[in-house]
Amino acid sequence: MKRILTYGTFDLLHYGHIRILKRAKELGDYLVVALSTDEFNATKGKKAYHSYETRKKMLEAIRYVDLVIPENNWEQKIQDIKDYKIDVVVMGDDWAGSDKFDYLKEYCEVKFLERTPGVSTTMIKNDLQLQETVDGVDQVPRT
């Protein structure tokens, strides 16, 4: 059984997330997703819209995902690879060459898959904010 591991925040789940999970699972038989906790995100200066528990439940509902574990810090990856007997760590290629992943090549295969263009959690947030401004949502409610 070939075991795959990936990391992420997966906030405001979108098709870029689904595509990386689908392609990661296609590389093996079992996919573990290490999901950034709210506390870990705070250290990255990020605040997810959905809580860890909500993001975990959404990921667990995806057919490609077999197990969701917490990502509490940057340093846990080698232990994760050992604990879950990982053969391949997969990330979007925005992480290619990053010192956060390249060193893992001593412990397992590391693959970077093409990031899906045209969508990101930040883009969704910005577009919604812009839309609210255009629609004047904060105007007097329509009767």
Which residues contribute to the site for ligand C2G (CB under 6 A)?
7-10, 16-17, 20, 36, 71, 91-92, 94, 115-116, 119-120
By C-beta, is 123 or 138 nearer to ligand C2G?
123
Torsion angle of the four alpha carbons 98, 90, 94, 18, in this order, in degrees rounded to the nearest 10: -160
How many Å apart are CA 48 and CA 102, to the nearest integer? 26
Residues that are catalytic: 44, 46
How many Å apart are CA 10 and CA 60, to the nearest integer? 12
Residue 70 bridge partners (DSSP): 35
Pairing of strands 3-8, 30-36: parallel
User: Cβ of residue 36: shortest distance to ligand C2G, in angstroms?
Assistant: 5
User: Cβ of residue 109: shortest distance to ligand C2G, in angstroms?
Assistant: 15
Residue nearest to ligand C2G (CB): 92
By C-beta, is 30 or 112 nearer to ligand C2G?
112
